[in-house]
Amino acid sequence: MSTNDSSAGSARAPLSTVKVVHYAVVALLVLGGLYYLWLTPPSLNPMADSRAAEALALVQTHRAQGYPTILQAMTEHVRSMKERDRVARLGEWRVKQVEGDLYEVRVQLRDQGLMGQWFEREFIWHANLSLKKINAASLPADGITPKEPDAAPGGSPPPLPLGAT
């Protein structure tokens, strides 16, 4: 009987070691997932922050030069490049709070040139939620964002530069 008891005891020891290793691996995976979620910046998911989602919507639905909205201008560019058998890729829209009601919205556009080289442009806008206005903060964004007319105080024309008659 003692030989059966000793063999049964040794059979249980590896089984418990396997269980311990199994639980340790599961615990490491859960901790790794929680660590990733903790470190993931909220800019990767603008819908997690309602104000960031509002800033993104404000930029995407703003008028563009030649198109009803900025989003339509960007997607139309990608479509037109595809029609010409060239590749264009529109990246993820990213939103980051700068301060208070001021948010920064970014998107990257990659175009393939005629010789196979790639050109990357980053479009950056600043969205002011309290004023419901956006400003282009990069040269590529400035190229598709229409200029707001400057309203002169009192309705008078702006002054002429010095030396102009």
CATH topology of domain 42-147: Heat Shock Protein 90 (3.30.565)
Residue 78 burial by Cβ neighbours in a 10 Å radius (0-12, 13-18, 19+): middle
Residues 72-91 have pLDDT tens digits of 999 999 999 888 888 889 99
> Quick one: pLDDT band at residue 4, thresholds 50, 70, 90?
low
State pTM to two decimals.
0.63
pLDDT, one tens digit per residue, over 93-135 is 999 999 999 999 999 999 888 887 889 999 999 999 999 999 9
Give domain limits for the chain.
9-40, 42-147
Joined together, the tokens standing for residue 126 give 């600043």
Judged by DSSP in three states, 135 sits in strand
Give the pLDDT band of residue 49 (cuts 50, 70, 90).
confident
Spatial contact of 124 and 118, defined as CB atoms under 8 Å apart: no
What does the pLDDT look like over 30-39, one tens digit per residue? 998 888 877 7
The predicted pLDDT at position 38 comes to 77
Residue, of 57 and 44, whose pLDDT is higher:
57
